[in-house]
Amino acid sequence: MSLTARLDRLPISKPHYALLLIGGLGYTFDGMDGAIVAFLMPSVRDVFGLEAAQLGLVGSAAPFGFLFGALLAGYLGDKIGRKKVMMWSLVLYAVASLVAALSWNFEVFLFMRIIAGMGAGAESAIIAPFLSEFVPKHRRGWFVGTLAGFFSFGFVAAALIGRFVVPASDDGWRWAQVLTFLPIVMLLWWRRSLPESPRYLASVGRHAEAEAVVASFEDRVRASTGNDLPAVDPNAPEEEAPVKFGFIKAVKFLWGRTMWRITATTWLIWFVITFSYYGFFTWIPTLLVDRGIDVTTSFTYSLYIYLAQIPGYFSAAYLNEKLDRKFTIALYLIGSAGAALWMSQANDPIMVTIAGIVLSFFLNGTYAGVYAYTPEVFPTWLRATGVGMSSSFGRIGSITAPIIIGTFAAQWGFVGVFGMTTTVLVIGVACTLLFAVRTAGRSLEDITNSGKGAITTTIDKEGSNA
């Protein structure tokens, strides 16, 4: 009996919500790490006497680490398992954050921000594919979109830290980073509570372990609901056969005849949203200050903007099932483009803030669609690698956006910077509508075993590692 079909017929219940909370907390602290730098930048600039170009490096440090962390985590997640990568990435992120808080010069601070970004990027890349492999097909878009919504809690937490901790003392920027170290205590919980993905276990030939995980999960769902489980669909596709692969073979498959269009589309969507997102959120407190708003008020306005992420994520999570991921992504990219255009024309600080709130709503809603969509279009044996590479390519946007804005804001001005963001978003809309595939209501195996995502003789399943 197909293990994947057994998982797909389960009703959403307490065991699923427990996984959602575990993964969601991981994303909460990833989001907090990504957002906290915006509130550290004014203090770090003064403490280390940084110029604009160096400040741009601070904004790009964590995204630079994200790039390599996501790339490495994706590959290792398919090689050694999702659970191990999740736990070790948490350790890396937390310890690096603590060292950054104690940094005695700019170079140490910058390097530790990169390492913390690697840990956060690794977690970010592995959690969504891990949880998507437990969730039934009829609720997967909502579930993973909701999971991504936990990022918003991290951004709000970062804004609160920026508002109340950073200005409280000269060392407030250090204490802010100490707080981002505290999630390491979650490691004790994760070690005991996290099962390994049964789809991953089956994909590497560990069928007895996969069977044990699925049976245990079924028992927990049965106990939670108090009902007998639905019958297994006899026509459901079987889980994929084990595939031996190395990094080079993985890249060749992703850009081979059957997958190149899906890969290119997914990478471009990730670049568009990540470029726009980090370009906006990294610099918004500084840009507000340049508009004549004092630092404390700027952080307060930023908190309002970050709060708009919450309804953005969760409204898109709802629409993931109603409209399909493809159309949810396109809709929220259109909203983002309109808000960015509005922001480029706003001069009054209040109007800038309102436009920022709307932009925050739509940008983060886009992420809820992207995080649900990406794990669905790659086969199990390469799912974490595919997500990791897509996320890594997107990080090129997050690295370049703060530098471009920091370097050219003086030349282009506020209007030019957000006018450019609008153009990038419009390109993303066109790409999504033309080339993204529909995934709602389909099993992961059905999506990747049909159409352009088919696994064909392109892959020698018995081949040696490349």
Confidence at residue 458, expressed as pLDDT on a 0 to 100 scale: 43
Is residue 175 predicted with pLDDT exceeding 70?
yes
Name the strand (E) or helix (H) holding 222.
helix 207-225
Under 8 Å between Cβ of 282 and 333: no
Is residue 408 predicted with pLDDT exceeding 70?
no
Burial of 191 (0-12, 13-18, 19+ CB in 10 A): exposed
- Confidence tier at 389 by pLDDT (50, 70, 90): very high
Instruction: Give the model confidence (pLDDT) of 208-230 as tens digits.
Output: 999 999 999 999 999 998 888 88
157 versus 330: the higher-pLDDT residue is 330
- Confidence tier at 203 by pLDDT (50, 70, 90): confident
Confidence at residue 449, expressed as pLDDT on a 0 to 100 scale: 67
Expressed in angstroms, the distance from the first to the final Cα of the chain is 32
Is residue 444 predicted with pLDDT exceeding 50?
yes
**DSSP code of residue 80:** T
Under 8 Å between Cβ of 118 and 33: no
Smallest CA-to-CA distance from 273 within 336, 213, 325, 317 is with: 336
Confidence at residue 271, expressed as pLDDT on a 0 to 100 scale: 93
Domain boundaries, the chain: 3-227+242-453
Is residue 291 predicted with pLDDT exceeding 70?
no
Is residue 207 predicted with pLDDT exceeding 80?
yes
Range of weakest confidence among 76-85, 95-104, 450-459:
450-459
> Mean pLDDT across the chain, nearest whole number?
82
Range of weakest confidence among 75-84, 99-108, 414-423:
414-423
Sign of CA dihedral 131, 86, 114, 304: positive
In the CATH hierarchy, which top-level class contains the domain 3-227+242-453?
Answer: mainly alpha
Confidence at residue 456, expressed as pLDDT on a 0 to 100 scale: 40
Is residue 242 predicted with pLDDT exceeding 90?
no
Under 8 Å between Cβ of 453 and 447: yes
CA angle 48, 114, 84 (to 5 degrees): 150
* Amino acid letter, residue 388: G
Is residue 361 predicted with pLDDT exceeding 90?
yes
> How far apart (Å, rounded) are the C-alpha atoms in residues 385 and 263?
12
Residue 269 sits at φ, ψ, to 5 deg, of: -60, -45
209 versus 237: the higher-pLDDT residue is 209
Q: Phi-psi category of 330—alpha, beta or left, where left has phi over 0 and alpha has psi -120 to 50?
A: alpha
Q: What are the tokens at 256?
A: 């081979």
The residues, any chain, with a CB within 8 Å of residue 250's CB and separated by 6 or more, are 75, 78, 382, 385, 466
Please state, in angstroms and as integers, the Cα–Cα distance from residue 194 to each residue in 102, 217, 447, following that order: 32, 11, 26
* Amino acid letter, residue 85: V
Outline where DSSP puts E strands in 354-465: none
Sign of CA dihedral 18, 142, 136, 88: negative
The residue-averaged pLDDT of 286-312 equals: 72
Confidence at residue 457, expressed as pLDDT on a 0 to 100 scale: 38
Is residue 171 predicted with pLDDT exceeding 90?
no
Is residue 403 predicted with pLDDT exceeding 60?
yes
* Amino acid letter, residue 379: P
Axis crossing angle, helix 309-323 with helix 325-345, rounded to the nearest 10: 140
Please state, in angstroms and as integers, the Cα–Cα distance from residue 395 to each residue in 62, 69, 136, 162, 465, following that order: 10, 10, 30, 24, 27
Q: What percent of the chain has pLDDT over 70?
A: 86
Is residue 370 predicted with pLDDT exceeding 90?
yes
Instruction: Give the model confidence (pLDDT) of 111-144 as tens digits.
Output: 998 998 888 888 888 998 999 899 888 888 899 9
Highest mean pLDDT among 49-53, 77-81, 361-365, 438-442: 361-365
